Amino acid sequence: MKQTEKILGGLIVILMLIRLFFALPYFDITITLLILVLSMMYFGFGFALINNVRLRAIFKKDSYKGISTLIILGGIFTGFILSFLSIYSLFKFQRWPFANQGLLISLYGLLPIIAIMIYKSVSSKNIYYFNSLTRLIIFGVIGTSLYFLSTEKILEMRNRDFPEYVEAEKILMKDPENKELQQKST
């Protein structure tokens, strides 16, 4: 993994864990911005990140010597899937709509990529496939954990100091069209 990728990913995970237990100002917006930066990196430059091409050399033809077209296409597809997975992880953490559906689609998209990387790493013993597989497993574990974590549990963990608000939000989740409950929960 690239250094920027490691720093952003580690910072996002640490800030998310801190935010689950403490209500600190600007943490939500910081987490959102960091995930958006990571997602845009994967979406726009996934083919380079996955194939270990430096950002400075991204537009140089020599940077892609020895990398087949199929591997570059795989890097593009992997970048898209990792971008979607990071965005829908943000959706789940912020309790935004359609988070579980997006996470599930992203995780299903990740499965064939992981299967191909496992096959390639076992058959060729190339470090490239091992590094890519490590990245994919980390994203898969985080995405799967968030998928199985209920929205109510995230709400309880993030707002443990405000039990009345938590109860009002839970009731509102069951009846989202109720205007009276909407005003009570704000």
Let me know whether 113 and 36 are in one domain. Answer: yes
Let me know whether 160 and 121 are in one domain. Answer: no
Let me know whether 127 and 157 are in one domain. Answer: no
Let me know whether 15 and 101 are in one domain. Answer: yes
Let me know whether 120 and 72 are in one domain. Answer: yes
What is the reported pTM?
Answer: 0.87
Task: Tell me what pLDDT residue 84 has.
Answer: 96
Per-residue pLDDT of the chain (186 residues; tens, 9 = 90+): 478 888 999 999 999 999 998 888 899 999 999 999 999 999 998 888 888 888 778 888 888 888 888 888 988 999 999 999 999 999 999 999 999 999 999 999 999 999 999 999 899 888 888 888 999 999 999 999 999 999 999 999 998 888 888 888 888 888 777 777 667 666
**Residue 107: Cβ-neighbour burial (10 angstroms; 0-12, 13-18, 19+):** buried
Let me know whether 37 and 122 are in one domain. Answer: yes
**Closest listed residue to residue 34, CA positions, set 97, 109, 89:** 89
Let me know whether 101 and 132 are in one domain. Answer: yes
Task: Tell me what pLDDT residue 64 has.
Answer: 82
Let me know whether 163 and 124 are in one domain. Answer: no
Let me know whether 180 and 137 are in one domain. Answer: no
Let me know whether 136 and 184 are in one domain. Answer: no
Q: Find the domain containing 157 and state its range.
A: 150-186
Task: Tell me what pLDDT residue 56 has.
Answer: 79
Task: Tell me what pLDDT residue 186 has.
Answer: 65
Tally the domains of the chain: 2
Task: Tell me what pLDDT residue 23 has.
Answer: 84
